Amino acid sequence: MPPSGRFAQPFQDYEILGRFGSGGMGTVFQARRKSDGLEVAIKVLRPSLSRNARFVERMRREAEISMRLDHPGLVKGYGFGEEGGYHYVVMESCAGRTLAALLKAWGSFPEERVLDLGIQLAEALACAHDGGVIHRDVKPSNIVVDDDGRAKLMDLGLAKAESDPTLTRDGGTVGTPQYMSPEQAEAPTQVDERSDLYSLGATLYHMVVGSPPFEGDSAAHVLTRLLGERVVPASQVEPSVSRGLDLVLRRLLMRRPEDRYASARELVADLRAVQRGKAPS
């Protein structure tokens, strides 16, 4: 890790140690909290976006939600602020690789790993949903898995509290097409926890067969397929998929929300049943 002297030190309470990476919204740094030495991650909003109140609000929302929710499967937030012209959120530092990176490297996962990670992520969603929060962007790049196989769900910046139905991206669809529920594509302000379950189902489907339910050469193509086609059962793509997991995935990926699991806790129960070699409900 480069010495901290190589990095600018714009934050009074934190020492920047290194850089984790950059994305569309900004850069994430590894840092140390000076008061107690805790290593944290600091997400700094890109300067060009700091003048846009919508992006600042998204970062504030992520911080507030992640500070309020407390679950080992959700990245913990520690604070939000503005210093030296930089808007930032301070979060738990998470070791590991994103599920997207693991899928790129491995292609697919053994079923027992899919079940284990699925249970962890469903339990994390249950905590969020119990707290009145819909994630709205569950996907492999928003999941980090450490060397011990523990998963954490990241990026609550697009999350919607049930009391705040207004968040969209430029008035349009929020989410990622390959993992998005049909209702989220059609009416992004009307989603509920069953939309998150669809997105988790699409993620688990990708893990077990090696590709998401729908692919295309553009976002518009994916959305057209999402809204006009049925999902091919996982067992037809990958014959080794057990009947139990196949049934769980079929239910998660039903077109109508009312045909899916009603809650993440119901999903956890069925995944545990399949894990024990029993049939889902």
Spatial distance between the Cα atoms of 270 and 278, rounded to a whole number of angstroms: 9
Residue 140: predicted pLDDT: 96
Q: Examine domains 4-92 and 97-275 and report if their fold is the same.
A: no
- Tell me which CATH homologous superfamily contains domain 4-92: Phosphorylase Kinase; domain 1 (3.30.200.20)
Q: How would residue 165 be classed by pLDDT, with cut points 50, 70 and 90? A: very low
Q: How do the domains of the chain map onto residue ranges? A: 4-92, 97-275
pLDDT-derived band at 159 (thresholds 50, 70, 90) equals: low
Identify the weakest region by mean pLDDT among 18-22, 102-106, 153-157. 153-157
Residue 80's nearest CA partner among 56, 63, 67 is 63
From the number of C-beta atoms within 10 Å of its C-beta (0-12, 13-18, 19+), residue 272 rates as middle
Average the pLDDT over each of 10-14, 65-69, 124-128 and give the range with the smallest value: 10-14
- Measured between alpha carbons, how far is 193 from 136 in angstroms, rounded to an integer? 9
**3-state SS, residue 92:** strand
Give percent of the chain above pLDDT 90.
65
Model confidence at 172: pLDDT above 60: no
Q: Is 146 a catalytic residue?
A: no
Residue 202 burial (10 A CB sphere; 0-12, 13-18, 19+): buried
Report CA-CA distances (Å) from 157 to 47, 64, 184, 245.
17, 10, 16, 31
Q: Which range among 19-33, 149-163, 216-230, 248-262 has the greatest average pLDDT? A: 248-262
Considering the chain, what is the average pLDDT of its residues?
A: 88
DSSP single-letter state for residue 88:
E
Residue range 121-143: average pLDDT? 94
Nearest to residue 234, comparing CAs of 212, 216, 217?
Answer: 212
pLDDT digit string (tens) for 46-96?
888 888 888 888 888 888 888 999 999 999 999 998 887 888 999 999 889
Domain 97-275 has CATH 1.10.510.10: yes
For residue 171, the model assigns a pLDDT of 37
Token pair, residue 233, equals 């059962």
Which residue among the candidates 137, 196, 246, 270 is catalytic per the annotation? Answer: 137
User: Does residue 258 have a pLDDT over 70?
Assistant: yes
- In this structure, what is the dihedral angle of CA atoms 80, 91, 100, 133, given to the nearest 10 degrees? -60
- Give residue 185's pLDDT: 92
**Strand pairing category for 151-153 and 143-145:** antiparallel
Q: What is the arithmetic mean of pLDDT over 206-232?
A: 95
**How far, in Å, CA of 143 to CA of 98, rounded?**
5
Radius of gyration of the chain (CA): 19
In single-letter form, the type of residue at position 128 comes to A
Q: How many CA atoms lie within 13 A of 67 on its CB side?
A: 11
Q: What pLDDT score was predicted for residue 10? A: 75
pTM for this model (two decimals) = 0.87
- What confidence score (pLDDT) does residue 26 get? 83
Q: Which structure tokens are listed for 171?
A: 């008035």
